[in-house]
């Protein structure tokens, strides 16, 4: 996986508390024992718990490393989702590192850039792609990142690699989304790394949309609804 600014965010994530740093070896081992690779550990907003960013998403663990929590934590006082607050900057930095390798459908009058983790075999991914003209007309540039739901051993993974290696990646993506045969091609590509990145965000299905502020919208959004959501949350 590419690093640079993504690593800078991870460094900040790590530096937020002495307790987290002191217990890092123990946390690494605890997560390794259950098959997860730790990317960063920090003290969480919840007393007695650490927040742990892994290759499969965000988790929380008790200070004594006995209890593991998977799922959303809501801050009732500040009325916000703790998980989302943590992950937004991580997502923004992560997708930025793949700007050059994303397959872009650029709006002529660009107002927003949305990154979409996609799979050519996904029905709702195809539905979203069919609205590309409407998305672009609304000023939304779409940058596709690969997320083969069947994993790196799947036929979709092979097809996505061929799309990323095609001479005309936009047309190859459109053909794949239309169920047409994609000409087999090979080259050095980042499809596997993009898939790993999506998993580290906690993504399990497609399409998964990363908005400009780092928010994640899982699932299909009609062009009009997405444009309205972006407009309402514009700075």
Catalytic residues: 119, 122, 125, 149
Question: Which of 135-155 are b and which e, b meaning 16 or more Cβ less than 10 Å from the residue's Cβ?
Answer: bbebbbbbbbbbbbbeeeeee
DSSP state of 165: T
Q: How many CB atoms lie within 10 A of CB 71?
A: 8
Cross-strand bridge partners of residue 113: 141
Q: Are strands 57-62 and 49-54 parallel, antiparallel or unpaired?
A: antiparallel
Name 156's Cβ contacts closer than 8 Å, sequence gap at least 6: 119, 120, 121, 148, 149, 150
Q: b or e along 219-231 (b: 16 or more beta carbons within 10 Å of the residue's beta carbon)? A: ebbebeebbebbe
Tell me the C-alpha to C-alpha distance, in Å, between residue 116 and each of 68, 96, 196.
Answer: 30, 13, 14
Report how far Cα 54 is from the mean position of its chain's Cα atoms.
Answer: 13
């Amino acid at each position: 996986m590419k690093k640079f600014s993504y690593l800078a965010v991870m460094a900040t994530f790590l530096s937020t508390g002495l307790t987290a740093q002191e217990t890092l070896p123990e946390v690494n081992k605890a997560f390794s024992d259950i098959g997860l690779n730790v990317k960063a550990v920090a003290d969480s907003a919840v007393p007695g718990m650490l927040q742990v960013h892994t290759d499969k998403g965000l988790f929380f663990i008790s200070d004594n490393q006995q209890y593991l929590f998977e799922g959303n934590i809501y801050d009732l006082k500040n009325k916000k989702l703790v998980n989302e607050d943590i992950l937004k900057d991580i997502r923004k930095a992560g997708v930025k590192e793949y700007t050059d390798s994303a397959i872009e459908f650029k709006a002529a009058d660009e107002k927003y850039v949305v990154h979409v983790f996609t799979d050519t075999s996904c029905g709702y991914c195809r539905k979203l792609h069919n609205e590309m003209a409407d998305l672009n007309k609304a000023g939304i540039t779409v940058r596709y990142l690969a997320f083969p739901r069947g994993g790196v051993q799947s036929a979709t993974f092979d097809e996505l690699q061929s799309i990323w290696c095609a001479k005309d990646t936009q047309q190859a993506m459109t053909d794949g989304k239309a169920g047409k045969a994609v000409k087999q091609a090979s080259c050095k590509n980042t499809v596997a790394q993009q898939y790993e990145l999506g998993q580290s965000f906690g993504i399990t299905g497609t399409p998964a949309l990363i908005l400009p502020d780092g928010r994640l919208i899982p699932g299909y959004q009609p062009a009009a609804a997405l444009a309205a959501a972006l407009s309402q949350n514009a700075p």
